[in-house]
Every structure is written in C-alpha cells, then in structure tokens.
Amino acid sequence: MNISELARRLNVLPDDLRAKLPELGFSIGAHAIKVDDRVAGQIQMAWSEMKRRLRLQEKMESQKAEQERRELRSEEEQKPIILPAVITVRDFASMLQLPVPKVMQELMRSGIFASLNERLDFDTASIIAEDLGFKASLEDKKQEQVVNVEAEKRLSEVAGEETEETLKVRPPVIVVMGHVDHGKTKILDAIRKTNVMESEAGGITQHIGAYQVERNGRLLTFIDTPGHEAFTVMRSRGAKVADIAILVVAADDGVQPQTKEAINIIQSSHLPFVVALNKIDKADVNIDRVKGQLSELNLVPEDWGGKTVVAPVSAKTGVGIDSLLDILILTAELNEKVIRSNPNRPAIGTVIESHVDQGEGPVATVLVQAGTLHMGDDLGVVDSLYGRVRAMRDWKGELVKEAQPSMPVKIIGLRQAPAVGDVIEVPADVAALKKLKIKPARAVEQIASIKHTTQQIEGESGTKQNCKIVLRADMLGSLEAILGMLDTIHHPEVGVEVVSKGLGHITESDILSAEATGAIVIGFNARPTTTAEELARDKEITIREYTIIYKLFEDILTDLQKLLPSETIITEIGKAEVLANFKKTEKGWVVGLKVRDGKIKPKAKLRIWRGEQVIGEGEVLTVQIGRGEVKDAKAGQECGVGYKGKTKAEIGDLFDFYVEETKGRLLKLKGIEAR
C-alpha cells in the first residue's frame, strides 16, 4: 500500500504519518513510498489505539478541569458570605447552603435556642457562620435614589423667587413608611374612613396614592408608599415630596429590615417624623421592647428622655388615630416656616404617578407644590408642551376646578404620559414651548433608560442563556419597580433580557416581537387586546398576566432555574491494582484486583492506567469477594471485578474508580432561591 493512501485512510498528511510511525514502533524509513499490506493493517490498528488514548486523555483532562471549576465555584459561592442586618434562621441556612437542622444544632451549641422563623441579628449570625466555616460581612444596603436634577433645580428656583409676603402656609404633605404588613395602609384606612387595601392585590399597595383629610379645620395630605421591598425606589420618591413622615412599626413584630430602610430614607431627606406604634390591640405586644429596638437605632422615645415622638395606635380599632393626627398637626405647626408656598403664582408640582388609561388616555397624578392649578391651564415639562388640563379629579374621584398647594389631583388632557418624578408646571410662555419639537414620550424615554440585566458579562465561559420577555404594565411606577427587580438578577450563566417594554394594553406588535425573539409576553395589570389574544393563540405565544409583582418575580426565577445548565460532578472513590486477568466476557473482562485506596462498587466508572498513560475506560458491572457478589470492596481487600469495556487489562495496571453524577444546579441570587 502506498504511504499516501495509508495517510489518506488515517486522515493525516504523509509527512506527519512518517514522523509519527517511529513513536508507534514502526521503522519503514524516512523516504519509503510503500509498505506491506500486513504492516499497513498493523499501523492502522496502532493509529486507532493512539487516537483512542488521546481522546481518553482529553476527556480526563476535561473532567479534571470541570471538577476544579466546580470546586472553585463552590468556594466562591460559600466563602465569603454577605449577610443582611437581620435574617431568619431558615434564610440563614439557605444562604449558607446548609441543612436547617445543622444550622440549628450549631445555634444550640452556642446556647441559642431559635425557631425556624426567628430572626438573628448580624453579630449573632456572623459568629455562627464563622463556626460553620464562613466569613460573614454586613450587606451594604445603600438606597438607590433616582434623582431628577432638572426637577430639583426647577423647584429650587421657584422657592428662591418667593418672598416672606408671598409665602402662605399650606397643608403638610405626609408620607407613610415602614415594613410590609405593619399596617401602613390600614392606618390610612382609619384616617380617611375608606377601604383602599381590599382593592389592592395581595393586600400590598401596588401604586403610590395621595389623599387629603381634614382635622380641626386643618387639611393634611397623605402619600401612601408601597410596602413590598421591590418598591424601594418608590418609597424614596415618596419621601422627596413630603414635609413630614410617619414611620409605622408593628408593636408585635418590632423593627424589621424594611423599617431600617425607611429610617435611612427619612433621615437622608431630613424630614421631621413621628413613629406610629401600630397593633397595640394585640394581647402579646411588648411596647417597651419595640421602644428599646428604636433606641438602639438612636431613635429614643420622648418618655425615655429622647426626642422621638412615639404614638401608640390601633388601625383595627381606631384607638390613637385622632391623637396621631393631632401630633401631625403640631409637628406641622412647629415646622410652619418651611411648610409654605405661594398660591398666587402659576402652578408647579411633581408627578407622583403616570399611566395610560384606556378611556382617558395619558393621565398623571400630580402633587401641586406651589401656585394654583386651574382648568384649561397649559402644562409643560422641561422644554416640552404636554397638553392642557381638560379635567381634574381629586382623590375621591370628584371633578374639581382648581388645585391649591399640597393638593393631589389626577390630570386628564395630556398628550403623553410624563415620567414619574418630573416637575410639571404652567409655563410663562406657552408659545415658546409650542415652537419646539415635542420629545417622543418622556415616560417611554425613562422606561428605556431603566437598567436591567441584558449584557453578557465579559470573560464568561460559554454562552449565557437569557429568558426573553416582552413587558407591559399599566403604570410607569409599576414598570419601573419590575425592571428594578430584574436588575437584581446577576448570574454568570443565565439572565433576563427585556426585548421590549411599555405602558398600556398588550398589542399585536408585542406578540410579533415575542415571536421574532422567542420571548414570553408579560402583562402587569395589562390585558391583551382581542386581536392580540387571537394572534398569540395562532402564533402559540405565551401570555402571562399578573397583579402581584413578587409573584411575577418568582415565576421569572423559576424560568431561569430551568435554563440553568446541569453540572456533572466527578467523585473519585477508589484505586486498585490488577493482580490477574481471568477471562473475556460478552461485554468486557473479568479481572482480579487488590484495592489500594477507597472502595469499588458496581456501576462506578473506571480508567485504566498503564504507567503514566490512560489506555482505556469502562464501567463496573459486578464486584465479587470469594464466590458471592458484594455491594463494595474496601481498601486492603482482594476482589474479582467484571467490567464493561474494550481494553484488556494486564497484571500491574492500575484502575481509577469514580462516580459521575449529573444534577440540576440551584439558582442563587443574593440569597434568593428559585424553588
């Protein structure tokens, strides 16, 4: 056979074949043109064996590299660990990736008898984490505050234009903050004698609302901020337009992580505030315990010699509500010099909610901060004309003709929905604004500017799997909050890609966009139009509708969990030396081994080493000691092993045994698990 023909069959260049042949034990000369057919057959067999061994070597190196990556990843996930200021035992165990009983056992060793849902402070949790082999550090939860520079500048300019003669006392704007489920909305219910909470999905306030009540001839404006932790940005926004804050703390639950967040927002905004100690009607409350917790945060109650006003109330029974209102009026009177504005100038205010209504078009809830807003007034934001006041409704839904300072109104007649936080005002020169080209929907621009996880992190190995979504919401505040939650998802292998986003109903274009990108369509308080629903059915596009934001987030985490690739875990279990090769079987061979280390068991995989090279692999079928089969053979024992494989082992060869396990990985994001 010609050398060139042999090289062609082996898929290699003739010169490379000649160079490799001496390593395989064939000496045919550097200039040989032909080889004997019998020798050619031997070369082909030797070449196949060489290639097989190379493949085995590559596989083993790949397994070793994957094992090292897994151990490194495991080490990175576990050490160090970042813990919040307060955490439950269940969540603590989850973050440590340890069984709950083990964590509780360690707590008991330290003399701490805690239930599953009991909260641990950081100092306690860090000590226990250290005992379990973790190095804990405190989570730095700086509030991400969306600052509208133009808005603040414009409001400052307006305030600077006024004099003592033009400024008049206005109703105080009061923001209600605190931990979820501590009764913020119920307190407002008791104050305004309405029942807003029952209309909110899941009992959690989904949108910022503003309300006015009268007490002893004085008007008070309340802003209700959403309580779920996803709405940190909304809570921050609520504090910006407020004069006084109410910090709601449940007497039975005490200070919680979100309580501390609210305190940080209030203090950074330099707001005077009152602590409303709610749920005092419960039998098991300990008011002094809660006051002690507040004192630890430098909020010492007045009756303990401090300056913090603590008002015990019960939103359920109404006890203390009137007293709370009197305290708020007194606080407003003490700060009367700053709670003033000029009602006789063109109106200016802040947008606290914005959305597109099916019947009314773009609407915005505006808190008037200076001047008086009238029916028919033109409205501008920055340098764009946004429309004219066609109608105004107060918080009760009644039509009003004017809105004075500190009055929240829903404005109808806008050309487009402004962005939440925008300063909207009656312009001095309407004609100048009309000459300018109106910017395309600032609300849409703000939506586009909100960050979310879409980019692939540089230096990642492999391709990142993205869960693609088309997102529609009824209000800008909700959309902002959802995208803010999605921005917390950071994972090297999976992520969320928002293909398109907007306000209003789900339309045909959303369905077509989802079809083109393989996305799912998500509507938050937004339903598909009839044609969009039919198109989705034809195109087999999934549409999901939600009314509770954290349910949406949980479902997305579940989707990401499914995308997360499984990992193969290689566990070395034993080593053995070949003492004898007994016979060949239909599937492989039967050999006699002496176990040098670990153990051997059926179904384990094996590698065969001859000297420094891996020459074969296989799988253990049976393990025998004497004449009977056993479950395993341990170090020091001699045994017979039947294995499946093509490679014949010789006396002196070494066997490596390992278990290969493929399992799905648990998605972990900052202590959050997909379940």
Domain spans in the chain, listed from the N-terminal domain onward: 3-58, 81-138, 171-338, 348-434, 450-455+462-563, 567-663
Q: Rank 125-139, 373-387, 627-641 by mean pLDDT and report only the highest.
A: 627-641
Span of 21-30, 59-68, 73-82 with lowest mean pLDDT: 73-82
Residues 531-549, mean pLDDT to the nearest whole number: 89
Residue 307: exposed, middle, or buried by beta-carbon count in 10 A (0-12, 13-18, 19+)? exposed
Q: Looking at domain 450-455+462-563, which CATH architecture does it have? A: 3-Layer(aba) Sandwich (3.40)
Q: Is residue 125 within 8 Å of residue 97, measured between CB atoms? A: no
- Measured CA to CA, the distance from residue 649 to residue 476 in angstroms comes to 71
Q: Rank 136-150, 199-213, 291-305 by mean pLDDT and report only the highest.
A: 291-305
- pLDDT for position 441: 42
- Measured CA to CA, the distance from residue 405 to residue 422 in angstroms comes to 17
Instruction: Identify residue 3 by its one-letter amino acid code.
Output: I
- Measured CA to CA, the distance from residue 136 to residue 138 in angstroms comes to 7
Q: Do domains 171-338 and 450-455+462-563 have the same CATH topology?
A: yes
H or E stretch covering 264: helix 257-268
Answer yes or no: is pLDDT of 408 > 70: yes
Residue among 612, 577, 614 nearest 597 (CA): 577
- Measured CA to CA, the distance from residue 510 to residue 499 in angstroms comes to 9
Confidence of residue 395 (pLDDT cuts 50, 70, 90): confident
Answer yes or no: is pLDDT of 639 > 90: yes
- pLDDT for position 426: 87
Answer yes or no: is pLDDT of 218 > 90: no
Answer yes or no: is pLDDT of 666 > 80: no
- Measured CA to CA, the distance from residue 102 to residue 89 in angstroms comes to 11
- pLDDT for position 143: 36
Give the residue, 229 or 154, on which the prediction is more confident. Answer: 154
Answer yes or no: is pLDDT of 93 > 60: yes
Percent of residues, the chain, with pLDDT higher than 90: 14
Answer yes or no: is pLDDT of 266 > 50: yes
Residues 278-294, mean pLDDT to the nearest whole number: 86
Answer CATH for 81-138 from 2.60.40, 1.10.10, 3.90.1530, 3.40.210:
1.10.10
Per the CATH hierarchy, to which homologous superfamily does domain 348-434 belong? Translation factors (2.40.30.10)
Statement: 567-663 belongs to CATH 3.90.79.10: no
Residues 268-292, mean pLDDT to the nearest whole number: 86
3-state secondary structure of 174: strand
- pLDDT for position 147: 37
Confidence of residue 450 (pLDDT cuts 50, 70, 90): very low
Length of the chain: 675
Span of 187-196, 230-239, 519-528, 550-559 with lowest mean pLDDT: 230-239
Q: What pLDDT, in 10s, does the model give residues 171-194?
A: 999 888 877 666 777 888 788 764
- pLDDT for position 439: 43
Domain 171-338, CATH class in plain words: alpha beta
Answer yes or no: is pLDDT of 299 > 70: yes
H or E stretch covering 179: none
Confidence of residue 667 (pLDDT cuts 50, 70, 90): low
DSSP 547: S
- pLDDT for position 623: 93
- Measured CA to CA, the distance from residue 675 to residue 662 in angstroms comes to 19
- pLDDT for position 146: 36
Answer yes or no: is pLDDT of 156 > 70: no
Mean confidence (pLDDT) of the chain: 78
- pLDDT for position 454: 37
Token pair, residue 498, equals 């928002």
Residue that the structure tokens 């305004």 belong to: 192
Distance in Å from the first CA to the final CA of the chain = 64
Residue among 288, 284, 276 nearest 314 (CA): 276
Give the residue, 268 or 365, on which the prediction is more confident. Answer: 365
- pLDDT for position 593: 93
- pLDDT for position 653: 93
CA neighbours closer than 13 Å in the CB half-sphere of residue 586: 0
Q: What pLDDT, in 10s, does the model give residues 555-606?
A: 888 888 888 777 777 888 999 999 999 889 888 999 999 999 999 999 999 9
Give the residue, 464 or 406, on which the prediction is more confident. Answer: 406
Residues 428-435, mean pLDDT to the nearest whole number: 67
Give the residue, 322 or 430, on which the prediction is more confident. Answer: 322
- pLDDT for position 668: 57
- pLDDT for position 37: 87
Q: What pLDDT, in 10s, does the model give residues 469-520?
A: 999 888 777 787 787 777 777 777 788 888 888 888 888 888 988 988 889 9
- pLDDT for position 231: 41
Confidence of residue 235 (pLDDT cuts 50, 70, 90): very low
Confidence of residue 670 (pLDDT cuts 50, 70, 90): very low
pTM for the model: 0.49
Cis peptide before 14 (omega within 30 of 0): no
- Please name the residue ranges forming H helices in 140-183: 149-161
- Measured CA to CA, the distance from residue 68 to residue 395 in angstroms comes to 62
- pLDDT for position 665: 62
Q: What pLDDT, in 10s, does the model give residues 329-345?
A: 999 998 888 888 888 88
Answer yes or no: is pLDDT of 654 > 90: yes
Residue 532: exposed, middle, or buried by beta-carbon count in 10 A (0-12, 13-18, 19+)? buried
